[in-house]
Structure 1
Amino acid sequence: MSDSITLQYSWLAKFFHWFTLLLLIAQIPMGFILVRLDFSDLRITIENVHVIVGISIFYITLFRLIYKFFSKSPKLMPKAFFGQNLIAKLNHFALYVALLTITISGILKKLFNGEKLNFFIFKLRIEDNFDLADQFYNVHVISNYTLIVLISLHILAVLFHQIFLKENILKRMTR
């Protein structure tokens, strides 16, 4: 195998990456819109879509982590500096934690707020606890802002490699 092949992500890893990105492009603005809407049919509709997309991101992230555990990631680029591998792994780990935390905290916020969640074949409802609902909402919001920062760092790292190190690492996720 040539180096260009060993530096590529698999088609499934690329799918998980780009599909998650597409869902997040819809999901993050939807969350910002939701907090500004008064209670209405439109808000309920947007919130239902927000929950479905969030749960989809959650499951895609779980499948992605399972796949990652059983497959090899590409090697570092030749110009990798000391500590780069650790920084990259920490950022990826934090991205996965944020994605999972956002969904779990969002679901728990809704449940402790007295809402039911439909999980296809059963409805889930737990006893109201508005204090816990508020706490999980805070976790949800903080995790979302953390995710935005982590995504920004991820994009800045790609730009750093492209512009300053002249390494076309974007091709690892696009070809």
Structure 2
Amino acid sequence: MTWKNTADRWGPVSQLLHWLIVLLVLVLAIVGLTMGELPKTPKYFWVYTMHKSTGITVLVLVLVRIAWRLYAGAPKPVPGTPTWQARIASLTHFALYALLLAMPLSGWLYDSASGLRPFRWYGLAEMPKLSAPNEGLSELSHDAHELLFWVLVALVVMHAAAAFYHHLFQNDATLTRMLPGRRRTPE
């Protein structure tokens, strides 16, 4: 077994990073959409700090994933995939990586520009501020964070829908090659 990606499927490192990032982004989305409703108690600040810490964790994991992809390569398109679909898939992957970098960076910038107390990643290490307090930049980065979230949601839905379309209607290995284990690929 190789840890790297092969011409036919994503390797275990790529799969682990993919599904871990998916899980963390799902948690971030749920918390991000609901934390505004929480009363401003110590629990709220704990939830807010966990949201920020998890966002920074996603940022690091995405950087690791990009580095791994550059090192390990990517599978070739499934045989029979039209060139236009392969190009759209490549552009979609690029956009997903860009959004997964921009989202935590915009949140970090919002935290920095808001002039809030220092943020400690999971209470362990103080994160540097990306800017001095700046109300205009704070509002802009907050708005960008929200907009980027909804763009990410739309792109993820399209990405998942395409994978399921390939699995259910094209009967190809587009989806199964990102799933763990040795799965028989449709012929």
What TM-score comes out, normalization by structure 2 length? 0.85
Structure 2: gaps spanning 5 or more residues: 1-5, 182-187
C-alpha separation in 1, matches of 2:44 and 2:126: 24
- Aligned residue identity for 1:144: F
Aligned residues: 171
Question: What are the within-5 Å matches in structure 2 for residues 1-175 of structure 1?
Answer: 6-115=7-116, 116-118=118-120, 120-125=124-129, 126-174=131-179, 175=181
C-alpha separation in 2, matches of 1:78 and 1:165: 11
What TM-score comes out, normalization by structure 1 length? 0.91
C-alpha separation in 2, matches of 1:121 and 1:170: 38
Q: How many percent identity over aligned positions? A: 24
Structure 1: gaps spanning 5 or more residues: none
Tell me the CA shift for residue 122 of structure 1: 4.2
Residue deviations 1:137-172 (CA, integer Å, cap 9, x gap)? 011001111111111011111111012211132220
C-alpha separation in 1, matches of 2:156 and 2:127: 33
Q: Name the stretch that deviates more: 77-86 or 13-22.
A: 77-86
C-alpha separation in 2, matches of 1:6 and 1:129: 48
Tell me the CA shift for residue 52 of structure 1: 1.1
Q: Decide whether the 8 Å contact of 2:78 with 2:173 is kept in 1.
A: no
Tell me the CA shift for residue 31 of structure 1: 0.3
Q: Name the stretch that deviates more: 152-161 or 126-135.
A: 126-135
Q: Decide whether the 8 Å contact of 1:79 with 1:165 is kept in 2.
A: no
RMSD of aligned Cα (Å): 1.5
C-alpha separation in 2, matches of 1:38 and 1:140: 22
Residue deviations 1:9-66 (CA, integer Å, cap 9, x gap)? 1111011101111111211100001222342222111101101110110000000001
C-alpha separation in 1, matches of 2:84 and 2:135: 44
